[in-house]
Every structure is written in C-alpha cells, then in structure tokens.
Amino acid sequence: MPYTNIDDPSAYFQTKTYTGNSGVQFVTNDGNSDLQPDWVWIKNRTVAYSHQLYDSSRGTTKALFSDLTNAETTVANGLVTFNTNGFGVNSAAAVNENELVAWQWKANGGTTSSNTDGSITSTVQVNQDAGFSIVTYTTAGSAATIGHGLGAKPDVILLKKRNGAISWYVRHVSTGTSYLNLNLTSAAVSNPAATWTTTEPTTSVYSIGTSTDFNISGGEYVAYCFASKQGFSKFGKYVGNGNANGPFIYTGFKPAFVLVKSSSATHNWHILDNKRDPENVVDKYVNPDNAAAEDTFTFGDFLSNGFKWRSSSGTSFNESGTSYIYMAFAENPFVTSTGIPTTAR
C-alpha cells in the first residue's frame, strides 16, 4: 500500500494571498495543479473585517462568517464566481481591499447529489479522495441522522445554521461528543443528548440531537465534513508543555495550513499557513473567532513531517498541561506514493 494516494495536495487544497483592487478581480491559484475551489474562506489581513466563507453548494454571494452567529447573508459584491483555477470577487472591502488570504478546498466542482443514508435526506457535494464533503439539509425538530457522503468516518464536522443567528458547532474526533464553537474562545462543552448525541459518526451518517441550535422545524444547515487522508490531512490533539522547546506534532506531511484551538481552556482559535509564512519561523496568524486583522507571534516551525512549537509564552497553543485540537492540510506528503521524500523548509 502506498504511503499516500495524494502526491499533489495542491489539487485539493491551496492557500492564496492576493492584493485587493476594490473592483472586479479574478484570483488565480498558483499551486502545482489548477484548483477549482468549492469552499473558499477569505480573510482581510489588513483591516478588521469578518471572515467570509462561501461554497459552491450554497452558491456565489452567499456568505457565512466564522466569527459571527449571523445567518447566511447575500453579499452581492462578495465572491461572485468559482473558476476552474480560482475564484472571482467584486468590490466588497472584506474580500477585495488591502492584503487578503483565501483558503480553498475542492469538493466536486459544484455538482451535488441527493443522499438518503440518514433519516433526513441531505444534499451532498463530496470528494472522497480528499476526504471532504459539503452537506446541506433542512431539519424537522426531532433527533435525526444525516448522510455525509464521505464513505469514511468524519473526523471533523463544522456545522452552521443558515437561516438563524446561531453559533458554529464543531465536532472533532479528539473531543468526542463534546463540542466547540468556531466563533467563540470557550473550551469544549459536553451536552451530547442535545447536540451530537452519544452515537459516534459512521462511514455514512452523523447524528444530531434535539437542541434548537441543531434541530428545529424548518432549520436550514450546512456542514463541512472531513476525514483524515494519509499524507494530505490530519486531525488530532496534543498537550502543551509551556516550554520554548515545545511539542512536536507529527502529521505525516509538510503542513500548508494549521488550525489550532485549546479544547480544555478558554483561548482563541488560530490559523497559520505556508503562504503568509513561506519560511520558518511561522508567526503570522488570524483568529477565526474574531474579525481582528492579521497579527504576529512566534509559534514555531512547519517541518517536513509535522509542526513544532517554539514558545514558552504562547498560552493559546502551548500552555503547560492544556489540551489542544488541530486541523492540518498538506503542502507535500512526507513521502510520495513513489517513495520520494519531501524536504524541510
């Protein structure tokens, strides 16, 4: 069995930095492969505008905001096209002024299908090779199961109600039935009966309880579901040591993107990537839970097979005895399917 089936991660995930022009702009990806994105997460790096999240299942101009509870909003001058090698934006300042960053994932080119695996029929856009699906559905107000289409057990689910002002809910394999909120700094909360239930996700469905945040008659939801793929994506946990010689987290690839959050303490979420920091040390970050502009702090290094923290004062990612969860996607696998190792930065 090969180490990885994804020799070129840029075919499924890319980070793109660009400069706004306050007009119409087509942002072109520059990875090894053309990437037609289906989920685009944009942050203005210079000004405190909310994070803007768009996907090709919900359609262009339909924005969600990782730092807000707001319902889905039509931003007419926001993201206006999903292109074969990038995306187009109009004049909205949050997506086309100053310096910006966009994180992009590929699903199925905007092609969706009806999924009847769960007790609620869902609409699914899935890329099983990359372990990523976009799921939309409408709830009826009673406990239910939702088909996700991955063909593998999801390790992470990011859930947002589209037609109501409700927090984001995050299910992570390392926190089990407890949940985190992407728009909040709070630690993981256990309320399984009402939220994710005590039933583990399966290779075909995940379960939702009776909380009105999760499940109300006529509630419209979107879920972004991820399953780990060796050499491409990893979703795990670690414990901080509060030392400048911080923990090393093995991923099996050179990271392109890392999202990290304490699961046991009140701290910000952080996003780091290889385009804003093409060389070590990695220090440029934004917080998904707030609209603040990009800031800097010494986090550590992206290595050929993982990442290592190098700060004794970074309580939000390396506090002694504190538990953390992360999501990571690859720039290069540690070893390709033909046995070629990647180099360190």
- Quick: pLDDT tens for 278-299: 999 999 999 999 999 999 999 9
pLDDT higher for 161 or 341? 161
Q: Report how far residue 109's alpha carbon sits from residue 131's, in angstroms, rounded to the nearest whole number.
A: 15
pLDDT tens track for 89-139: 999 999 999 999 999 999 999 999 999 999 999 999 999 999 999 999 999
Find, among 92, 8, 50, 105, the residue nearest to 286 by Cα: 50
Q: Per-domain residue ranges for the chain?
A: 9-105, 113-226, 233-333
pLDDT tens track for 310-340: 999 999 999 999 999 999 999 998 887 877 7
Q: Mapped to the 3 state alphabet, what secondary structure does 135-180 carry?
A: EEEECCCCCEEEECCCCCCCCEEEEEECCCCCCCEEEECCCCCEEE
CATH code linked to domain 113-226: 2.60.40
Q: Is the pLDDT of residue 303 over 80?
A: yes
What was the pLDDT predicted at 1? 44
Q: Which amino acid, one-letter code, is at 242?
A: G
Q: Which pTM was predicted?
A: 0.97
* Mean pLDDT, residues 245-268: 97
Identify the DSSP state of 9. G
